[in-house]
A and B are shown apart, each in its own frame.
Chain A
């Protein structure tokens, strides 16, 4: 039986001869890179004290959480979802409504928001996992539009176009979060949790199943992968973290309006992921940084915002189709 095909001694020889030093080297590099990033992130608010820049950093954090989670769906599983902003919005509105009308604390409200997004993504994911390609994308667009229309039209519940205002100051384990710096650290913790959870998933058998689906769905099935199940899994986990970002947005902005969650937002997230690079978990962060800074730099040219975003994306697609740090091109 094939059990006998693996000879322990041989494997050991291979492991010690070639691969150990190499993989140790890359692990060391990763540890150094991660620690450096963490140290910089921790001291940043000590250096950047200007509230304008701190505010920008907080939006960077929100988009980072959104794009990391979108990367699981788009970069790893290969599903072009244009509904990410809707799950972001479900998170924001749920937190806003629970905190303002029912006086729920921030952490329970955030958890409830993420769970609600999970339930909605499950409802959408089940039919979506059965249709592929363009139909999947159309379903997510439809979902996003329905969400936005409900947010706009159901005035009694969502506040309509005015949205929900006066979201109370969040307390985390009794500590009120008021200043830009405090929000920054809260956001950083949420980002770190997202990053760690997604890293664990991506580096496991589950992450590899998602990659297999992206690469060749029929071959993936033949490897014993229950493809619809894993598509739903990627979609729900991604949506869960999008709602976490939305929840943070609600307490940070103290208001939520439907315009925060337009289709345009979903497009922007996709562009950030593509520019940063897909397939590598952290690569979209580069896209978040570049696109945010670029749009801020040309703030005075607000009406040309989409033009600038489109221009950057064209340049990247022309000269580096896999994105700046990506490992897989969007379509081979």
Chain B
């Protein structure tokens, strides 16, 4: 049984079938690459899995539970975290606070704790801060803890967004085009970071257009085309598949 299972997922916007009958299993510890031309439904797929959109049909099971149609915040509590295609860090707060917000589901303090058991509440906050610093250290962002997120260079903001997602202690991490807008140096840093996560046993789904990047990281690649699952296989096989090259080339001809 996989960590994540989708069964015949369908999502349409007006007349556009953004996701059309996608069935997919993801095993714990795997890195899955999702590729496909622009508009093929990759982001929509993540948005369905994280409860941002509700599927029109089909089911999503995660960790053995049905999570179809759960609102986004409950999906996160179940252990799915994500980043966004167009960077969405909390710009006007510090790097550290970004991570602390990411730990929302991990800190147990409720309103009454703050006033009835203030010492225990404070202790939980301190512990969270320590954990947050550990995460920032791992991404080499610890020295910038007090800087506003918006003041970081773009590549570091992307890393921060990944750390913020990791802060919820997820069982599954989903990255939507993490390389977008990065320079080659930043991409190398990111690739190393993802390898480190893999070594620690994280399960990761990565959407990416940059082929060398995704082929070197993923254990398995799924190709989407016009909302359908077009191919599913190991990176070497996908890379050499003439049909995959065709859909990309075909799209470029249109442009």
Residues of A within 8 A of B202 (CB): 2
- Pairwise interchain contact B52-A209, C-beta atoms closer than 8 A: no
Residues of A within 8 A of B97 (CB): 208, 211
- Tell me if B104 is interfacial: C-beta within 8 Å of chain A: yes
- Tell me if B7 is interfacial: C-beta within 8 Å of chain A: no
Most chain B CB within a 10 A radius of its CB, from A15, A204, A329: A204
**Contact flag A4-B134 (CB < 8 Å), given A223-B164, A223-B168:** no
Q: In this complex, what residue of B is CB-closest to A23?
A: B146
Q: Mark B157-169, 1 if CB is under 8 A from A, else 0.
A: 0000000101011
Per the 8 Å Cβ criterion, residues 1-57 of A in contact with B are 1-8, 10-11, 14-15, 18-19, 22
- Pairwise interchain contact B76-A6, C-beta atoms closer than 8 A: no
Q: Tell which of A197, A200, A201, A215 touches B91, judged by Cβ atoms closer than 8 Å.
A: A215
Residues of B within 8 A of A212 (CB): 90, 101, 104
Q: Tell which of A14, A22, A215, A222 touches B92, judged by Cβ atoms closer than 8 Å.
A: A215
- B235 to chain A minimum Cβ distance, whole angstroms, is 25
Q: Tell which of A1, A204, A328 touches B125, judged by Cβ atoms closer than 8 Å.
A: A204
Q: Tell which of A10, A203, A226 touches B73, judged by Cβ atoms closer than 8 Å.
A: A226
Q: Tell which of B90, B109, B131, B135 touches A219, judged by Cβ atoms closer than 8 Å.
A: B90
- Pairwise interchain contact B170-A223, C-beta atoms closer than 8 A: no
Per the 8 Å Cβ criterion, residues 76-132 of B in contact with A are 76-77, 81-82, 84, 88-93, 97, 100-105, 107, 109-111, 114-115, 118, 121, 125, 128, 130-131
- Tell me if B72 is interfacial: C-beta within 8 Å of chain A: yes
Residues of A within 8 A of B130 (CB): 6, 11, 15
- A178 to chain B minimum Cβ distance, whole angstroms, is 32
Residues of B within 8 A of A101 (CB): none
Q: In this complex, what residue of B is CB-closest to A11?
A: B134
Q: In this complex, what residue of B is CB-closest to A211?
A: B93
- Tell me if A284 is interfacial: C-beta within 8 Å of chain B: no
- Pairwise interchain contact A22-B146, C-beta atoms closer than 8 A: yes
Total interface residues on B, CB under 8 Å, equals: 54
> CA–CA, A149 to B200, complex, Å?
63
- B29 to chain A minimum Cβ distance, whole angstroms, is 10
- A24 to chain B minimum Cβ distance, whole angstroms, is 13
Residues of B within 8 A of A3 (CB): 169
Q: Mark A200-222, 1 if CB is under 8 A from B, else 0.
A: 11011110110110011011111
> CA–CA, A284 to B202, complex, Å?
45
Residues of B within 8 A of A14 (CB): 133-134, 136-137, 142
- A123 to chain B minimum Cβ distance, whole angstroms, is 19
- B69 to chain A minimum Cβ distance, whole angstroms, is 15
> CA–CA, A146 to B110, complex, Å?
34
Residues of A within 8 A of B250 (CB): none
- B166 to chain A minimum Cβ distance, whole angstroms, is 6
Residues of B within 8 A of A6 (CB): 130-131, 134-135
- Tell me if B138 is interfacial: C-beta within 8 Å of chain A: yes
Q: In this complex, what residue of A is CB-closest to B150?
A: A332
- Tell me if A227 is interfacial: C-beta within 8 Å of chain B: yes
- Tell me if B233 is interfacial: C-beta within 8 Å of chain A: no
- Pairwise interchain contact B133-A11, C-beta atoms closer than 8 A: yes
Residues of B within 8 A of A174 (CB): none
- Tell me if A225 is interfacial: C-beta within 8 Å of chain B: yes
Residues of A within 8 A of B253 (CB): none
- Tell me if A156 is interfacial: C-beta within 8 Å of chain B: no
- Tell me if B145 is interfacial: C-beta within 8 Å of chain A: yes
> CA–CA, A3 to B169, complex, Å?
7
Residues of B within 8 A of A4 (CB): 200
- Pairwise interchain contact B73-A5, C-beta atoms closer than 8 A: no
- Tell me if A277 is interfacial: C-beta within 8 Å of chain B: no
- Pairwise interchain contact B92-A5, C-beta atoms closer than 8 A: no
- Tell me if A68 is interfacial: C-beta within 8 Å of chain B: no
**Contact flag A205-B133 (CB < 8 Å), given A19-B145, A223-B104:** no
- Tell me if B2 is interfacial: C-beta within 8 Å of chain A: no
> CA–CA, A14 to B76, complex, Å?
29
Q: Mark B162-198, 1 if CB is under 8 A from A, else 0.
A: 0010101110000000000000000000000000000
A-binding residues in B (CB < 8 A): 50, 52, 71-74, 76-77, 81-82, 84, 88-93, 97, 100-105, 107, 109-111, 114-115, 118, 121, 125, 128, 130-131, 133-138, 142-143, 145-146, 164, 166, 168-170, 200-202
23 pairs of residues in contact across A and B, judged by CB atoms under 8 Å: A2-B169, A5-B166, A6-B130, A6-B135, A11-B130, A11-B131, A14-B133, A15-B130, A22-B146, A201-B114, A204-B114, A204-B125, A208-B104, A219-B84, A219-B89, A223-B101, A223-B104, A223-B168, A224-B74, A224-B77, A225-B104, A328-B92, A329-B92
Beyond contacts A205-B100, A219-B89: 16 other A-B pairs, Cβ-Cβ < 8 A, are A1-B169, A2-B200, A5-B135, A6-B134, A14-B134, A18-B143, A19-B145, A204-B121, A206-B109, A219-B88, A219-B90, A222-B73, A224-B73, A224-B74, A329-B92, A332-B92
B-binding residues in A (CB < 8 A): 1-8, 10-11, 14-15, 18-19, 22, 197, 200-201, 203-206, 208-209, 211-212, 215-216, 218-227, 233, 279, 327-329, 332
